[in-house]
Structure 1
Amino acid sequence: MSAEQKKQLEQQLWNIANTLRGKMDADDFRDYILGFIFYKYLSEKMELYANQLLAEDGITYVKLDEESEEGREFMAVIKEEAIQTLGFFLKPSELFKEIVRRGQGKEDEEGQSNFILGDLANILNNIEQSTMGTDSEEDFNRLFEDLDLTSSKLGRTESAKNALIIKVLEHLNVIDFQLDDIEADVLGDAYEYLIGQFASGAGKKAGEFYTPQQVSKILAKIVTSGKTKLKSVYDPTCGSGSLLLRVAKEVKEVSNFYGQELNRTTYNLARMNMILHDVHYRKFDIRQDDTLEHPGHIDKRFEAIVANPPFSAQWSANPLFISDDRFSQYGKLAPASKADFAFVQHMVHHLAENGTMAVVVAHGVLFRGGAEGHIREHLIADKNYLDAVIGLPANIFYGTSIPTAILVFKKCREHPDDVLFIDASAYYEKGKNQNSLRESDIDKIVETYRNWAIEEKYSYRASLDEIRTNEYNLNIPRYVDTFADEEAIDLQSIAEQLKMLETDISSTDATIAEFCQQLNIATPF
């Protein structure tokens, strides 16, 4: 797909989203438009697969007669195969294009469209029901629960709701997502685009489900450095799953994806996002719960870990956690009002011996004292897990303008005697509402990390002794000197300029005095 084609597709999708925009807030119309895109994807996936199975019989899936004995026999076989391979099943009459066709028909002489909301609700429910008792049940359970077709936000009357949904489905129906092209990921990229657009307009709440792609690229490139395949990648605060999928783009293969998300709606987005990017249901395990309080993968270790946890979130800090394997080695828990280090400890616990972990944190994590200072010292002095500290520009995240940093951890470090500090805070493109990292800025960060390079006023390798001297304070300006010498002032030149100004002022005063005398008024000085 060319850049121009991609741009056109994105514009089409955004125009469809705008059909709903005037009727509800961003969170709500996001759920509808992404839910319908997902339904379209499942339908096209089902039809392609069924047609492959029926190819030898010279028929297509939509031509099957669901009421005939032969049709029911075909469908029974197809359902069994589809559940095993795809993880779900749709009848020919339940396909996206078929429901659109029914909606486009006219119900009466007044031109009212056929009522499809009831059928559509049943179809979405049937998709979930088709997975009951199978390996994919957990991945599809209540997946469409946020797509409420009875909501008054769609219209005041049932007829108005029906007309709006038909309009949205018709617009989506004409878009070719090219699912038969295994090299293309048109639908996945379109889904990512829409998630990003919704995040940019959702203000502070966007941080719950989306990490800007520019930051995701840095994290993904760092944790995949020197690798072409990964056994596993994990995100303990996975949001919409975009960060996990970004890691997959940096290597040839990721065997398994793991994640956990607290927000139910965002958890549904993550599962949809995985499936839309053609990640088989057996290859991902996304859980819904509080990661710190109720971890879902406690016994697993991961080769790559990435995360953008909520900054300074609250957690219980229950004293019972002091005996939890994730926290017991440190002797202290992160404060209840700031869970940042609790997330770091959780991630370190899950990091494999050959793994790399990259996490976004607020700058306070680098230097705050108390329990946080104690945990920071343990990670550096006792464990020697901290590999790099990367300072990012301010105002690049949705909903917050604070400067942030990336902490990189490894249990087996290639450079065990020092820690790399990178100050990339001045390398960005300024935007009207939000700053952004350019490709050149991203490449500079990643190459500096990979080459462990020192560059004046940009990067520095600090020895462990130096960090200890600084009492394990990781504030980047302590290590990367970005101070710019001021230009020398020529005092003789300044004196001469002042003398010339004094002469000009005296001349002007004389001219004003002369005018005042002519006007027979007092001078102002």
Structure 2
Amino acid sequence: MTQDITYTTKTKQLIDSLKSVCANYGLGNDGNEFKIITQVFLYKFLNDKFRFEVKRLRPELADNKEFYQNLKNLYENEDGQYELLMDLLDENVPQLKPHQLISHLYNNQNSEDFAKTFDDTLRDISTENASVFSIKSFSGAKDKLFDELSNYITDSSQKDDFCKALVNKLFEFSFEESFEDYFTEKYDFFKDIFEYLVKDYNSDSGGKYAEYYTPNAVARIIADVLVQGDVKKVRCYDPSVGSGSLLMSLAHNIGEDRCTIYSEDISQKSSTMLRLNLILNNLTHSIPNVIKTNTIAQPYYLEKQKFDYIVSNPPFKLDFSDFREDLDTDRFKERFFAGIPNVPKAKKESMAIYLLFIQHIMYSLNDTGKAAIVVPTGFITAQSGIEKKIRERLIDNGWLRGVVSMPSNIFASTGTNVSVIFIDKQAGQEQIVLMDASKLGETVKEGKNQRTVLTKDEEEKIVNTFSNKESVEGLSVVVNADEIKSKNYSFSAGQYFKVDIEYVDITAEEFSARIKGFETKLDKLFKESNTLDAEIQEQLKGLMYE
């Protein structure tokens, strides 16, 4: 936990430093500021990952202060040792040259036309690692790893200074040994960056793409519940992947070498973050499967793949009126079996797009597939409409493994109450676990907002209770399909909790004594009421108009 706090603190410090640079050059809260910060982080992480892996292979290069010079000497020596070292690096590791390191740029920042040197360095890294690190779009085109960041400065006289300032911040900032510890662990590197930045660039309740960071606790619970026993050679998918928190947790539980990651997302910045997470978490083999596309309108994997595991925290509400009619066709009829939300006369942005994602996920599972989907809690009790049709399909087909209703304010960027739907194509119609965890958690204050945080013990309690299919008073019930049908297909645990009424046997004399006591107390209260009424009447008579 201390290490997590240290990493989070240092990450936010570097973000603030880079934001300060952007502000000083007229890019504060500019649309390009997000790109600059995330790409500079990418460059920093690639440097550190490269240094960490090289030092593991060649411990004699390990001195941080002398690392650049030692590597440069090795590179300039024509005995082939540098090329051999690069060949020994794992495919997940970026291959860099000494002059592409932060140290080299820092030492040469006073050279002529430094902005061009900076941009060329990033471009070369991108080109030389493109076969591994590029992301493909729906059309098949591959994007590049870095933009030419100096081009975001319109005043050409400031470009050199801007690039120098970025490099200086990176050089000054060092994770040192504490950061290298994270490369030996299974860690979602971009979680803090995404959460910290999304508050600035996504302040209007989700913005255009309704991006929300999934809390670590929710991601861990989902992964722990889904992954049971020894799992090998599975396909894991997220159709609204964001920065990949859910997929990272899932892959870590399964084993990075035992699964292949597939994803789709409409946001380029989310794809960039996911790519970085894959690079840093030994999942580079899955980068070709990261697709930037509109999953609902232009699904890349719809007819190409079915999946063993699907996790998703989809956008809940979003205006998709521009392409709604394209969905209401025979091509997508089987996929959207429960229907497509209508376009409201007002507030198009309130269209419940998450209902399309749920149906898409159900369609995308293979015959033994499992899924976990974050939904607004209102979904689990809606009395009619698309919501109920989806719930009916899950119950009638025996696909519902259970539901966990989370505490309110568990998300940093939205106060919407959420539940997690667990789907299992082999669940059957018996022993369905419904859990109300809304009373768990500790409230912490973050700025002006409050947030609920689950303790480790509470996370374990949720996972163990769910996995062991236990009924715990006030927390969980285990029901069958017929019971759920009798409750109008409600998935709310509270509707199944037993209400225990405590009965106490008393004698006729005790009963009479209690009734007498109630009568005496009532008489006293009535007398007090009459006295007050009389006093009020007297006071009213004394009122005069002046």
Match of 1:210 in 2: 213
From 11, 14, 18, the counterpart of 1:13 = 11
Amino acid of the structure 2 residue aligned with 1:148: L
8 Å CA contact retained: 1:421, 1:480: no
Change (3 A) 1:172 1:118: farther
Q: 2:97 & 2:223 partners in 1: Cα distance?
A: 39
Q: What secondary structure does 1:210 align onto?
A: coil
Amino acid of the structure 1 residue aligned with 2:357: F
1:236-277 residue CA offsets vs partner (Å, 9 max, x unmatched): 111001111112333445421111111111111111121122
Amino acid of the structure 2 residue aligned with 1:350: S
My pick for the range that moved more, 384-393 or 168-177, is 168-177
Match of 2:241 in 1: 238
**Residue 283 (structure 2) pairs with residue 279 (structure 1):** yes
Match of 1:460 in 2: 477
Q: 2:298 & 2:116 partners in 1: Cα distance?
A: 38
Change (3 A) 1:182 1:247: same
- Within a 5 Å distance, the mapping from 1:337-348 to structure 2 comes to 337-348=351-362
8 Å CA contact retained: 1:100, 1:173: no
Q: 1:300 & 1:224 partners in 2: Cα distance?
A: 20
Structure 1 residue 117: Cα displacement: 2.7
**Residue 395 (structure 2) pairs with residue 380 (structure 1):** yes
**Residue 291 (structure 2) pairs with residue 293 (structure 1):** no
Q: 2:279 & 2:155 partners in 1: Cα distance?
A: 27
Q: 1:284 & 1:158 partners in 2: Cα distance?
A: 34
Q: What secondary structure does 2:451 align onto?
A: coil
Q: What secondary structure does 1:396 align onto?
A: coil
Q: 1:482 & 1:193 partners in 2: Cα distance?
A: 43
From 396, 404, 409, the counterpart of 2:410 = 396
Structure 1 residue 348: Cα displacement: 1.6
Match of 2:145 in 1: 143
Q: Percent identity?
A: 21
Structure 1 residue 475: Cα displacement: 4.6
Q: Which runs of 5+ in 2 are unaligned?
A: 62-68, 137-141, 343-350, 503-513
Match of 1:93 in 2: 99
Amino acid of the structure 1 residue aligned with 2:432: V
Match of 1:111 in 2: none
Match of 1:304 in 2: 309
Q: What secondary structure does 1:240 align onto?
A: coil
Q: What secondary structure does 1:93 align onto?
A: helix
From 110, 113, 116, the counterpart of 2:114 = 116
Q: What secondary structure does 2:162 align onto?
A: helix
Match of 1:62 in 2: 72
Amino acid of the structure 2 residue aligned with 1:97: S
Amino acid of the structure 1 residue aligned with 2:71: Y
Match of 2:166 in 1: 165
Q: What secondary structure does 1:402 align onto?
A: coil
- Within a 5 Å distance, the mapping from 1:26-37 to structure 2 comes to 29-37=33-41
Q: 2:525 & 2:30 partners in 1: Cα distance?
A: 60
From 436, 451, 468, the counterpart of 1:451 = 468
Match of 1:197 in 2: 196
1:338-386 residue CA offsets vs partner (Å, 9 max, x unmatched): 23232112112222333321101113322152344333323322x2212
Match of 2:423 in 1: 409
Structure 1 residue 230: Cα displacement: 6.2
Structure 1 residue 220: Cα displacement: 1.5
Structure 1 residue 10: Cα displacement: 3.2
Q: 2:246 & 2:127 partners in 1: Cα distance?
A: 29
Q: 1:267 & 1:162 partners in 2: Cα distance?
A: 24
Amino acid of the structure 2 residue aligned with 1:387: R
8 Å CA contact retained: 2:212, 2:413: no
- Within a 5 Å distance, the mapping from 1:249-288 to structure 2 comes to 249-253=252-256, 254-282=258-286, 285-288=289-292
Q: 1:369 & 1:352 partners in 2: Cα distance?
A: 28
**TM-score, length of structure 2 as denominator length:** 0.76
Q: 1:370 & 1:39 partners in 2: Cα distance?
A: 48
Q: What secondary structure does 1:294 align onto?
A: coil
Match of 2:176 in 1: 175
1:95-115 residue CA offsets vs partner (Å, 9 max, x unmatched): 122212323xx56xxxxxx76
Structure 1 residue 466: Cα displacement: 2.7
8 Å CA contact retained: 2:94, 2:129: yes
8 Å CA contact retained: 1:359, 1:407: yes
**Residue 346 (structure 2) pairs with residue 333 (structure 1):** no
Match of 1:423 in 2: 436
Structure 1 residue 464: Cα displacement: 1.9
Change (3 A) 1:370 1:282: closer
8 Å CA contact retained: 1:100, 1:170: yes
Q: 2:336 & 2:282 partners in 1: Cα distance?
A: 40
Amino acid of the structure 1 residue aligned with 2:311: V
Change (3 A) 1:418 1:501: same
Q: 1:465 & 1:181 partners in 2: Cα distance?
A: 48
Q: 1:154 & 1:78 partners in 2: Cα distance?
A: 42
Q: 1:154 & 1:34 partners in 2: Cα distance?
A: 22
8 Å CA contact retained: 1:391, 1:422: yes
Change (3 A) 1:416 1:444: same
Q: 2:255 & 2:450 partners in 1: Cα distance?
A: 33
Amino acid of the structure 2 residue aligned with 1:444: K
8 Å CA contact retained: 1:136, 1:281: no
**TM-score, length of structure 1 as denominator length:** 0.78
Q: 2:520 & 2:279 partners in 1: Cα distance?
A: 70
Structure 1 residue 181: Cα displacement: 8.3
**Residue 454 (structure 2) pairs with residue 438 (structure 1):** yes
My pick for the range that moved more, 116-125 or 260-269, is 116-125
1:135-180 residue CA offsets vs partner (Å, 9 max, x unmatched): 55447832223x7333349999335424421331122346346548
Change (3 A) 1:282 1:119: same
Q: 1:163 & 1:497 partners in 2: Cα distance?
A: 84
Q: 1:406 & 1:271 partners in 2: Cα distance?
A: 26
8 Å CA contact retained: 1:34, 1:191: no
Match of 1:517 in 2: none
Structure 1 residue 208: Cα displacement: 1.0
Q: 1:35 & 1:148 partners in 2: Cα distance?
A: 9
Q: 1:220 & 1:8 partners in 2: Cα distance?
A: 25
1:266-299 residue CA offsets vs partner (Å, 9 max, x unmatched): 1111111211223233576211101122222233
Change (3 A) 1:455 1:12: closer
Q: 2:328 & 2:34 partners in 1: Cα distance?
A: 37
Q: What secondary structure does 1:357 align onto?
A: strand
Q: What secondary structure does 1:232 align onto?
A: strand
1:158-217 residue CA offsets vs partner (Å, 9 max, x unmatched): 3542442133112234634654886346xx555433333334555333851521112212
Q: What secondary structure does 2:173 align onto?
A: helix
8 Å CA contact retained: 2:297, 2:327: no
